[in-house]
Amino acid sequence: MAAMVAALASVPFAVQAFEPGSGVECIAPSDPGGGWDFTCRSGGQVLSKLDLVPGNVQTVNMAGAGGGVAYAHVVAKRSGDDNLIIAASTAVPTRLAQGQFPGMDMDMVRWIGTVGSDYGVIAVTEDSSYQTLGELMDAIKDDPRAVKFAGASAKGGWDHLKALIAARAAGVDTLREIPYLSYNNGGEALTQVVGGHLDAFTGDISEARGFWESGDLRILAVLAPERLPGEFDTIPTAREQGIDAIGPNWRGFYMPADISDEAYEYWVNAIDTLYESEEWKEVMANNGLMPFHYSGEEFKEFMAQQVKDIAELSAELGMTAQ
């Protein structure tokens, strides 16, 4: 425990009065294998290595409703639990913006911090006839139902929106007719595509990496402003193919409401420390995560703006009422 306090030496003395107890949990609002699961397991390992928590962090998978089951559980049953963190991503403000978490809003939890951004990809099987993103979009222009997409978010969620953002940027004007099937995690969605049951995957680079490295998957485009570094630099962006589509998916954590201010400040500083650590930088490099960090109240302000922006985008794309 002394190492834990030392790691957060910059935290004011009053805040140091709080220390997490044993048995810290991280809820991943998905089945094993998806981005939220990755955030909990990788983040938990680094928190443990840095002695920011006593012992190990237990990952609890809680799939359903595009993160809504976990969100409702935290709001209704875990208020004040300062030993619980929950993995989040752009999918959460997306669902909140679309009113998909009935009776709930972003102020019912506390926003802790982000730890990087996982950019979206559009991918097909290695033996697919589509060699470029342009070819795939041309097929959709000819027949809106020609390409069936699989993703981990619920219909109207961020994975779905990424495919529609790319299609809109490519000049497709029949966005509502494009088929999209939702799965509980990226691994399950990828299995459907690699197995030949669906045509294309819309998700994140960290989810697609395994099948891409094995040669089973061809990533047509990454939805990033520029090519990703390292081994991912062979993957073209949508923008360089003439399709100006960007789809960042940040990774981060929130906590239950009604935790003490001391606990809140501790966890904000703990996630700051994790993000700045060499251990986390290695995780980011190995998984295609790009720098992206909001912390504490700044994160809350960012969330409020993102909910507003996604609500406007969803209405424009016909996902919600104007």
Average pLDDT (43-50) is 98
| Cβ contacts of 232 within 8 Å, gap of 6 or more | 205, 222, 288
More confident residue, 278 or 320: 278
Helix (DSSP H) and strand (DSSP E) numbers for the chain: 11, 10
What pLDDT, in 10s, does the model give residues 62-111?
Answer: 999 889 999 999 999 999 999 999 999 998 999 999 999 999 999 999 99
pLDDT at res. 5: 47
The pLDDT of residue 242 is above 60: yes
Average pLDDT (227-236) is 92
Instruction: Please state, as a whole number, how many other Cβ atoms lie within 10 Å of the Cβ of residue 181.
Output: 14
- The domains found in the chain, sorted by start residue, are 2-118+249-316 (3.40.190.150), 119-241 (3.40.190.10)
pLDDT grade, residue 287 (50/70/90)? confident
pLDDT at res. 7: 53
Amino acid at 159: D
The pLDDT of residue 3 is above 60: no
pLDDT at res. 297: 97
What pLDDT, in 10s, does the model give residues 181-217?
Answer: 999 889 999 999 999 999 999 999 988 999 999 999 9
Please identify which residue in the block is written with the tokens 């790691």. 7
Maximum Cα–Cα distance across the chain: 64
- CA–CA separation, 205 vs 57, rounded Å? 25
